[in-house]
Amino acid sequence: NAGVTQTPKFRVLKTGQSMTLLCAQDMNHEYMYWYRQDPGMGLRLIHYSVGEGTTAKGEVPDGYNVSRLKKQNFLLGLESAAPSQTSVYFCASSYSRQVGTRNNEQFFGPGTRLTVL
Amino acid sequence: AQSVTQPDIHITVSEGASLELRCNYSYGATPYLFWYVQSPGQGLQLLLKYFSGDTLVQGIKGFEAEFKRSQSSFNLRKPSVHWSDAAEYFCAVTDMEYGNKLVFGAGTILRVKS
């Protein structure tokens, strides 16, 4: 099993450009998440999904959109990139809490380092 | 709202010395608590987790953590630190009301001096 994979690993954008980050998991997890990591702030939740076709806002959703058309994929889109979106983006997945409380551990991808100039 | 506080931004210990990283959480119900480690340029690796039961939890790489409800704490410990333990450590609590999202502390950077 590959676990959670993210593409691309690195990207540099100019202000106003758009891009999509792809997250894929092969563990049949229901829940998927997008976090951003900034120095001194830990990881903050951007959006999440509790199942195929569903999405919800997290703590810092502005400037981002997401889609979960397939259970194994969770896409994060930036329609018009801004320098404030320079960050490291992590995707994670987990079973739902209904499966059992011991199964709600989140598994993280390797991250995407995005720089917006 | 749930929150996690890691009071120490940086900690430096000598190789072979003991280590304790502090974590305090704010959560109304029984918390599900985690410690993750991140090496430079890498993703997050789970060290250990607490759901219920024994309040002393053993993890990988010789780490352990103790859940103390009365103090709202989940401190991470290791009896003898190795140079390879130098990394950033994150404490997190699950927010069961929002898709099991993780609420992270700001992290503690561990430096190990030889």
- Tens-digit pLDDT profile for residues B46-100: 999 998 788 999 999 999 999 999 999 999 999 999 999 999 999 999 877 666 7
Q: Is the backbone peptide bond immediately before A83 cis, with ω within 30 degrees of 0?
A: no
Task: Indicate yes or no: CB of A110 within 8 angstroms of CB of B96.
Answer: no
Residues in A closer than 8 angstroms to B4, CB to CB, are 42
Question: Which 3-state string (H, E, C) describes chain B?
Answer: CCEEECCCCEEEEECCCCEEECCEEECCCCCCEEEEEECCCCCEEEEEEECCCCCEEECHHHCEEEEEHHHCEEEEEECCCCHHHCEEEEEEEEECCCCCEEEECCCEEEEEEC
- Tens-digit pLDDT profile for residues A33-51: 999 999 888 899 999 998 9
Residues in A closer than 8 angstroms to B7, CB to CB, are none
Alpha-carbon torsion (A80, A82, A86, A89), positive or negative: negative
For the cut 70, the answer to whether the pLDDT of residue A102 exceeds it is: no
Task: Indicate yes or no: CB of A50 within 8 angstroms of CB of B99.
Answer: yes
Q: What is the pLDDT, as a whole number, of residue A49?
A: 94
Q: What is the pLDDT, as a whole number, of residue B100?
A: 75
